[in-house]
Amino acid sequence: MAKILVVDDAAFMRMTLKDMLSKGGHEVVGEAENGVEAVEQYRKLNPDLVTMDITMPIMEGIEAVRQIKQEFPNAKIIMCSAMGQQGMVVQAIQAGARDFVVKPFQPERVLEAVKRVLG
């Protein structure tokens, strides 16, 4: 069981992910709705894993990944993107994300990504 931080500007998406992760045996220890909150929550909670949306207000997900990885090089982050954001997914991987899942979320794919990233 992993402690997971869920980051997405849409409350519905956070709720959907929390539900999938909980059913998969994981514990969602925190939520954030933008990159600034994500970095703050990571510092406070030190989760095993982060699911990070790409497109968010205040600070984009890719910048949040860079900041988290700079402070915590071993951070494990999975990007979440809508269809058609493949170019941004490449940037996210270059920034340090370990995997990505595409919205709308498929529970099997989300849990498979979590398992692979936690290795």
Name the domain count of the chain. Answer: 1
Give per-residue pLDDT as tens, 59-91. 999 999 999 999 999 999 999 988 666 788 889
Domain membership flag for residue 32: yes
* pLDDT confidence bin for 46, thresholds 50/70/90: very high
Full domain range(s) for residue 92: 3-109
pTM: 0.95
> Which residues on adjacent β-strands are paired with residue 27?
3
Contact 27, 19 (CB under 8 A): no
Domain membership flag for residue 39: yes
Give every CB contact of residue 28 below 8 A, 6+ residues apart in sequence: 4, 5, 6, 17, 18, 21, 22
More confident residue, 71 or 103: 71
Domain membership flag for residue 100: yes
Q: What is the CATH number of the domain that holds 26?
A: 3.40.50.2300
